[in-house]
Amino acid sequence: MPRRKVLFVCHNHPKVRPGGAEEYAHELHRALRESPGWEPTFLARSGPPHSRSRRPHEDVHVSPVDCVDDEYFLYTDGYDFDWLYGTMRHSKELYTRHLRRFLLALRPDVVHFQHTLFIGYDAIREVRRTLPDVPIVYTLHEFLPICRNKGQMVRTMDGELCAEETPRRCSECFPEHSPQTFFLRKRFIQAQLGLVDLFVAPSRMLVERYVEWGVPRDRIVLEDYGRRALAVPAPDASRPGARDRLGFFGQMSPYKGIDVLLEAFRRHGRSPAPHARLWVHGANLDLQEHDFRDTVEQLLADTGEHVTFAGPYEPHEVGALMAAVDWVVVPSVWWENSPLVIQEAFANGRPVICSDIGGMAEKVAEGVNGLHFRTGDPDSLGETIGRAVGNEELWESLRGGIPPVHAMSDHVAVLTGAYERLVRERRGEPWPERVAALSS
Amino acid sequence: MIAASRPVAATSVHGPDEPAGDLLAGPVALGEAEELAVVGVPPDTLDRNRPRLRVEVGDIELIADGPGAREALTDLDSFVRERLAGLDAANRAQLLTALAPLTGWEGLPPALSDGLHAVREALRERRPLAVVDQRAERAVEVEALHRIADDEFYVRGWLWEQSRSVVELTAVSPEGERVELIGRAHRHPRPDVAERFCAGGHEPLGFVCHFRTAAPSRRRDGWVVELANAAGRGVETAAALSSTDPASAREGIVADAVASAGDTEALREHHVRPALTRLQELRRDAVAVDEVESHGTVPESPEVSVIVPLFERIDLLEHQLVHFADDPELWECEIVYVLDSPEERDHLSRFGGELARLYGLPFRTATLTANGGVALARNLGASLASGRRLLFLDSDVLPARPGWVGELSRSLDASPNVGAVAPKLLYEDEAVQHAGVELVRAVDAPEWSAELRMKGVHGRLPAANVGGRVPAVTGACMMTDAALYRELAGMSWIYVQGDYEDADFCMRLARTGRQCLYAPEVALYHLEGQSYPSEARAANRRYNRWLFSRSWSDVIEEMGR
């Protein structure tokens, strides 16, 4: 029997710019290549301003990634992405002409959206229009459909965490848009996402947020990211009894809380514990706003020899880098979903010190395989680091509590099982509007 | 001899009781240059040797014909100065009176207007210019002058006459026609003016007047308003049109209707309403369906035609289609978008085409020749509709879930004697926007006001969910019978800027023994109030409310019994 075809649609290719969701999506694509029943194709959005290369051929918006036969770029050059509605502002031809042409040529059996950022929710509509019987799967990575503030659910005026979106509150965050506009936005996005047959959410918190927002519970499945098994986990190279090496891995953005971590070191006379050292493996500091960059640079200067800024790293280097630390710190000040860095730390046998909210608190069990601190509070973080550093007994206990990592092979089995079920019984109809107010 | 060709029948250059040729001997004609006027001037007003006058308007050439033809003057100004200016005042006035109606020609050329204006300037008796000074014995000022139609005007201003014996208040058109306003104008107190001249605040120093001229006048400037007292002393002031387009004229007049002190009823009845109604009528006459574009194949013999006026916010089309596309019933409907802002025509054509490709749902767009307002847009949309039922929908109304068209249709079927049905409309925060319309006594005026029932309460409040007969319903989402709609001539175009025409339509239903139905089991969202109402909009509402009440108080009172 010929293999069925699944098309992954992603907002970026990791070759163009690194990022957690796209790394995961591409890894999933590579794992599916080896699956006996499913043949994957990876369609990654490309084009300015986020990538350096422009589309190479006249009137061609979909073309192969560096000659590979199952990976394509979807060039959005010349289209104007609207951040508010998540759509192409002035023209729909990207969907009705270029994407349609590709869909009709490829004829996938399942379309699995990993992201629609920079592409637009209309791409879902286009798939449904052109391939009416093909199931649509959509993985939720953050809160972009719900929250205009880059999907972070953090309020713009003070950085406070937001637990509830309403048109009124959204308009408070973005006064240039009326509550009515935010209502239009929500209804537009819901109408497009209403065509999705199955949502995949990697954390329970995401499942609940999206159900509250209007996704029917029976259309969403909790399924964590899968990751490839490591040949050899990171060796334990620490000096016995010290356990004083900490590591930060990830984007140097305000949402990731790097400033909270550095501040914790600064306040405690450059280090929360006498010997504690921090290695910052951070990417994209250059993309941050000036004020934040200045803050981080000042903090790095103030914390002196206790903190080493090592810069970005390649995905394959992470094991070696984690081998050189005892603790991995995840100080994000937004909710996070299922942070890949936590998976990475666990795969390498490293307990995690993290903020006590959202996906971090869900994936790291306090006192079992890691420690929580009060989100955004450098003193709480400092105190927690002080408690952890030098505590061999605690470290061993937490290391012992680390669960097995969700293997990519298991993940693929879950997803392909879902694809097969959906192909058999595609529902297709949009979800009925959840307007409780009207049922009275 | 006269160089003349086609006579212009429309022009009468002599008084009705005077035999032709007594005052001015015709004919008036168009020459080869198509702008040639020839008038005969009575012998006693001119040198007997030069009994005729030729006015070639294209080049503004005025020639005295006859024995003195060789002395023809090629310069209007010098001709007027040399041949006419020397006449006595009575003759000059007579001549002016005779010349002004020349503008009655169809297609009045600007040059003729200019020519006549030049003649007027040379011939007319001038009064001293009004000076606004505390010690002035008399003064007059024009604050607004609007052209309603070519021969219809609206003026607002004030006057001051120390002796209180004003006998003439005369508007002089740029072409020389005199219209007496004193008996006709609405006079009202102007405490601000009174203060300047140390007069009583209650004295009716302000005036407003809607008036007609016998002949059209098209110049923007050159108006004069004269004031004279019983002793024959007077002043004058120059005036120019204060608006260049009907929309600003409308806005200015509506503002007067709500701002003036004194007897506003008389002001509105005799000056504001005739002026605004005429403006609205001209607007109606100017607006038609210019072009219809079909996107996809519209269903044949649909049960329901959905008519959506679109004004400027073309983006709302997408926000409706995205929901319509997921509702199988909408695929059975005929959907007509009526573009009431024709400047968006190309945008709508392109964007509509792209949306049709993406969503697949067929619809038509009809572009109007000019902005006509929501009532005209609905009526013109209805004229294209082939459904048995009409469903009027505003572009900022979004369905909450599929199935609403059928539900409205069934509730109309199930209710005998009901002429229109409307659903519950909610704001984005689940508050009620519409739960039927009630007609109540206004608190600030002896008028009936159409008010949205339950506005602002939560949509789930039981009181907002009691359906049934209501005095009126909104036009933002209203279903009615197509034949009935046509029988009642659709929605009234007399209201200014989209307000009250829906309540007016419901009164037409009531007058023919039909009722309105509120159907709370069907709910949609109405994102009204994307911007706060401007002052101008509030003024429109006040005027429209007055007009509505004036038109329907008998029917409303009958309903209340």
Element holding A267 (H helix, E strand): helix A258-267
Of B351, B359, B527, the CB nearest to A180: B527
The two beta strands, A327-330 and A352-355, are parallel
Q: Cα torsion at A327, A332, A338, A340 (round to 10°)?
A: -50
Q: What is the pTM of this model?
A: 0.86
Instruction: Choose, out of A80, A177, A434, A438, the residue to mutate when testing the contact with B (most B CBs < 10 Å).
Output: A438
Tell me if A181 and B530 make a contact (CB, 8 A cut-off).
Answer: yes
- What is the distance of C-alpha A6 from the center of its chain? 21
Across the interface, whether the CB atoms of B322 and A191 are under 8 A apart is answered yes
Whether B459 and A438 lie within 8 Å, measured CB to CB: yes
Residues B313 and B204 in one domain: no
Q: Residue B118's domain spans which residues?
A: 1-125
Q: Is residue B544 part of a domain?
A: yes
Q: Where are the domains of chain A?
A: 4-227+408-439, 245-400
Overall domain count for chain B: 3
**Three-class SS of A147-179:** CCCCCCCECCCCCCECCCCCHHHHHHHCCCCCH
Residue where the block lists tokens 């798939």: A127
* Nearest residue of A to residue B524, measured between CA atoms: A438
Question: Which positions in chain A touch B351 (Cβ < 8 Å)?
Answer: 90
Determine, for residues B359 and A187 on separate chains, whether the beta-carbon distance falls below 8 Å: no
Give the Cα separation of B337 and B305 in Å (integer). Answer: 11
Task: Report the C-alpha gap between A289 and A293 in whole angstroms.
Answer: 6
B315, B322, B349, best to mutate vs chain A, most A CBs in 10 Å:
B322
> Is A8:A36 a contact under the CB 8 Å cutoff?
no
Closest chain A C-alpha to B542 CA, distance in angstroms? 26
Q: Which helix (H) or strand (E) holds A280?
A: strand A277-283
| Cβ–Cβ gap A188/B319 under 8 Å | yes
Report if residue B469 sits inside a domain.
yes
Compute φ and ψ for B371, nearest 5 degrees.
-65, 125
User: Do B57 and B114 meet the contact criterion of CB atoms below 8 Å apart?
Assistant: no
ipTM (interface predicted TM): 0.89
| Nearest residue to B132 (alpha-carbon basis) of B178, B197, B73 | B197
Structural contact between residues A363 and A334, judged by C-beta atoms closer than 8 angstroms: no
Q: How far is A93 from chain B (nearest CA, A)?
A: 7
Query: Given the DSSP bridges, would you call strands A370-373 and A352-355 parallel, antiparallel or unpaired?
Result: parallel
For residue B179, being part of any structural domain is answered with yes
Asked whether residue B171 falls in the same domain as residue B243, the answer is yes
Among chain B residues, the shortest Cα distance to A437 is held by: B460
Contacting residues of A for B401, CB less than 8 Å apart: 432-433, 435, 438
Task: Give the pLDDT of residue B43.
Answer: 35
CA-nearest of B433, B443, B456 to B518 is B433
Residues B113 and B147 in one domain: no
DSSP B96-125: HHHHGGGGGSTT--HHHHHHHHHHHHHHSP
Residue A346 has pLDDT above 60, yes or no: yes
For B358, the closest of A95, A179, A435 (CB atoms) is: A95
Q: Which residues contact A176 (CB under 8 A, 6 or more apart)?
A: none
Q: What is the DSSP string of B190-244?
A: -HHHHHHTT--TTS--EEEEEEE-SS----SS-EEEEEEETTS-EEEEEE--S-S
Find, in chain B, the residue whose alpha carbon is nearest to that of A181. B530
Residues of A in contact with B328 (CB under 8 A): none
Out of B284, B305, B327, pick the residue that ends a domain.
Answer: B284
Give the closest residue to B530 by CA, choosing from B333, B357, B319, B349. Answer: B319
What residues in chain A have their Cβ under 8 A from chain B's Cβ atoms? 90-93, 95-96, 122, 125-126, 129, 166-168, 178-184, 187-188, 191-192, 194-195, 430, 432-433, 435, 437-438, 440
User: Which chain A positions have a beta carbon within 8 Å of B318's beta carbon?
Assistant: 188
Same domain, B90 and B154: no
Q: Which residues of B touch A99 (CB under 8 A)?
A: none
Among residues B253, B284, B315, which one ends one of the domains?
A: B284
Q: Which of A325, A297, A308, A307 is nearest to A265 (CA)?
A: A307
Mark yes or no for CB contact A168/B429 under 8 Å: yes
What would the mean pLDDT of A170-174 be, rounded to a whole number?
97
pLDDT value of residue B35: 33
Residues A8-31: tens digit of each pLDDT:
999 999 988 878 899 999 999 999
Contacts of B426 in chain A (CB under 8 A): 437-438
Chain A closest-CA separation from residue B428 CA (Å): 6
Asked if A188's CB is within 8 angstroms of B318's CB, the reply is yes
The answer on B151 and B298 residing in a single domain is: no
Question: For chain A, how far is it from start to end, CA to CA, in angstroms?
Answer: 52
Name B238's Cβ contacts closer than 8 Å, sequence gap at least 6: B129, B221, B222, B223, B224
Whether B171 contacts B147, CB under 8 Å:
no
Verify whether the Cβ–Cβ distance B428 to A179 is below 8 Å.
yes
How confident is the model over A321-349, as a mean pLDDT? 94
Q: Which residues of A touch B322 (CB under 8 A)?
A: 125, 187-188, 191-192
- CA-CA distance, A345 to A351, in Å (whole number)? 7
Q: Which residue of B has its CA nearest to A95?
A: B358
A257-271 average pLDDT score: 88
Of B235, B252, B284, the residue that ends a domain is B284
Same CATH topology for A4-227+408-439 and A245-400? yes
Same domain for B356 and B487, yes or no, is yes
What's the average model confidence in pLDDT over A201-212?
96
Decide: B425 and B434 in contact? Cβ < 8 Å.
Answer: yes
The whole-angstrom distance between A341's CA and the closest CA on chain B is: 38
A56: pLDDT confidence band, cut at 50, 70 and 90? Answer: confident
Question: What is the pLDDT at residue A146?
Answer: 97
Omega before A233 cis (within 30°)?
A: no
Q: Which two tokens stand for residue A207?
A: 């499942």
Could you tell me if B302 and B333 are in contact, meaning their C-beta atoms sit under 8 angstroms apart? yes
- Cα separation, B412 vs B405, in Å, equals 11
In a domain, B366, yes or no: yes
How many angstroms separate the CA of residue A191 from the nearest CA in chain B? Answer: 6
- d(Cα A299, Cα A280) in Å, to the nearest integer? 12
Averages of pLDDT over runs of 10 residues in chain B (561 residues) are: 28 36 31 36 40 41 39 50 70 72 61 76 84 87 95 96 92 92 94 90 93 89 94 94 91 88 87 96 96 93 97 95 95 97 96 96 97 95 97 96 96 94 97 97 91 96 96 97 96 90 97 96 88 76 95 92 71
What's the pLDDT band for A169 if we cut at 50, 70, 90? Answer: very high
CB contact under 8 Å between A92 and B426, yes or no, is no
pLDDT at B138: 93
In a domain, B132, yes or no: no
For the domain A4-227+408-439, what is the CATH superfamily, name and number? Glycogen Phosphorylase B; (3.40.50.2000)
Which of A122, A180, A191 lies at the smallest CB-CB distance from B358? A122
d(CA B559, CA B552): 11
Could you tell me if B217 and B274 lie in one domain? yes
CATH topology of domain A245-400: Rossmann fold (3.40.50)
For B261-329, give the secondary structure using H, E and C: CCCHHHHHHHHHHHHHHHHHHHHHHHCCEEEEEEECCCCCCCCEEEEEEECCCCHHHHHHHHHHCCCHH
Name which of B320, B326, B408, B530 to mutate to probe chain A: the one with the most chain A Cβ atoms within 10 A of its Cβ: B326
Residue A421 to chain B, least CA–CA distance (Å)? 24
Q: Tell the residue number behind the tokens 């992405």, with chain if given.
A: A81
